[in-house]
A = this chain, B = another copy of it.
Amino acid sequence: MTINANEGRQDMSTALLTDMYEYTMLDAALQDGTADRRCVFEVYTRRLPAGRRYGVVAGTGRLMEAIRAFRPTQDDLRFLADRHIVSQPTLKWLESYRFSGSIRGYREGETFFPNSPILQVEGSFAECTLLETLILSILNYDSAVASAASRMVSAANGRPCMDMGARRANEWAAVSAARSAIVGGFTGTSNLQAAKFYDLPAIGTAAHCFTLLHDCERDAFVSQIQAFGKNTTLLTDTYSIEEAVKTAVEVAGPDLGGVRIDSGDLASLAQRVRNQLDALGARKAKITVTNDLDEYAIASLQNAPVDSYGVGTQLVTGSGAPTCSMVYKLVEREGSDGSMVPVAKRSPNKASVPGRKLAFRSYEYNLASAEHVISGSEGALNTFQAPDDWRDLLVSYMDRGEANPEFLGHDALMRARDHRAQSLAELPIGAMSLMNGEPVIPSLEQML
């Protein structure tokens, strides 16, 4: 697999996809001698979006690529110099920058809860602080989309969900959203850049403009079938749905692939269209519905004869929660005597728990019962023996600068999708409820 952090944007550096203060803090720390202090940063969220029972981690695979592409170009360095953002020695230091630390974290597709240590980044202050914004951008957006996707996939209860959201998100965010939707359990995307870059199934039907372009609906249907065969999906709601379905079967015959409905009362329309298709002999024709679907709309369609869902806006905007509010906090750093010191800020309502964490999930009768987030001295953590039936939630993504290939590329993405299904299946069934509620298992913080 080739290294490519930018979803097709080859050879791009990600080094300026960050906030200015990362560079100015680096500069000051290099000057005062603290830049080399060993540090542990942790990514976590203080809360799930209101009412959500769990979240789904996504983005870590592509984050590893983005970190490897974090190499300031000559052009980037010139910008930092021209704007006097950092001093000359720091520019020199940046010329050879390459993250050489270690990263552990939750698997892609893992369910998470408040205070879950989703990512742990270890290295010198200098190399870790530069990555803050990039790490948060990727994990916050990708996990927001995967978390929403996962709820939609549960609500669809086995019927396939397809990403059609590109037009309602920034054009490059849409590429990441398509990938995150797959982690959340979606089966395809309309977005070609995502289909190409992540080797995903590309899907699509036709737009109303295609029908309107032609002198009549029949001409449009004939054209589409001539180009793509009978196993295509015809859009039926440009004029009268009933007429369109009649025309579709006249044109394609009983082997018509499917129809799409994009407006109106989707449940009633799907029922009418199913009956009409069956009466016309097109029993195998599938019905796809679209039109501002979210997990609630999908759930409400469970008794309607729908075969697949095309989801747009609410997928790519996280269905009301377009970010996960994850933060990146320094939890431990080397002191002047060389030993590691747990640290934490004490800001009102935003205080953090000092020290590197361990994370496990415990079970009762095969169902997850709690998330255990454990802190303590380095010695206590290293010798901690978790009960046999606890699951260790942290895996190694990067070891002293070397990315773990297990978490890179297309196969890793497919494994992430499988892992999301397994991780969700372990949770109490309340996780799949769309009713607002508390996180479905408690996060228990323990100090050794």
Contact = CB atoms under 8 A, between A and B. Distances in A.
Counting chain B CB atoms within 10 Å of each CB, which of A27, A172, A204, A350 scores highest?
Answer: A172
Interface string A122-147: 00010001001110111011100000
B24 A226 contact: no
Interface in A8-62: 8-9, 12, 14, 16-25, 27-29, 31-32, 34, 37, 39, 41
A168 interface: yes
B350 A263 contact: yes
A345 interface: yes
B21 A166 contact: no
Contact of A173 (B132, B141, B346): B141
A228 B24 contact: yes
Given A27-B227, A190-B19, A208-B330, A219 B171 contact: no
A238 interface: yes
Nearest to A78: B196
Contacts of A215: 335-336
A329 B192 contact: no
B209 A330 contact: yes
Contacts of A136: 167-168
A103 B264 CA distance: 32
Contacts of A390: none
A264 B29 contact: no
A273 interface: no
A6 B9 contact: yes
B168 A170 contact: no
Contact of A209 (B41, B133, B203, B206): B41
Given A137-B167, A323-B168, A192 B23 contact: yes
A31 B202 contact: no
A201 to B, nearest CB: 9
B239 A345 contact: yes
A8 to B, nearest CB: 7
Contacts of A345: 208, 211-212, 237-239
B195 A20 contact: yes
A363 interface: no
Interface stretch (A79-87, A366-374, A412-420): A79-87
Contact of A171 (B17, B203, B328): B17
Nearest to A236: B347
Nearest to A335: B215
A390 B263 CA distance: 36
B18 A12 contact: no
Given A171-B134, A208-B329, A347 B213 contact: no
Interface in A203-229: 203-215, 219, 222-224, 226-228
A349 interface: yes
Given A170-B141, A345-B208, A28 B228 contact: yes
B21 A212 contact: no
Nearest to A336: B215
B224 A28 contact: yes
Contacts of A438: none
A276 interface: no
B213 A24 contact: no
A214 B18 CA distance: 22
Contact of A140 (B20, B133, B167): B167
A426 interface: no
Nearest to A5: B171
Contact of A204 (B24, B164, B222, B325): B24
A197 to B, nearest CB: 9
B19 A164 contact: yes
29 contacts: A9-B9, A9-B12, A16-B192, A17-B166, A17-B174, A17-B191, A18-B166, A19-B167, A27-B227, A28-B228, A29-B210, A29-B223, A31-B223, A31-B226, A31-B227, A39-B209, A66-B171, A85-B202, A125-B213, A132-B167, A137-B167, A137-B170, A137-B171, A208-B345, A209-B329, A212-B330, A237-B347, A264-B348, A317-B322
Given A20-B192, A212-B343, A238-B345, 9 more contacts: A79-B195, A137-B166, A137-B171, A137-B174, A140-B169, A209-B329, A211-B345, A237-B345, A322-B322
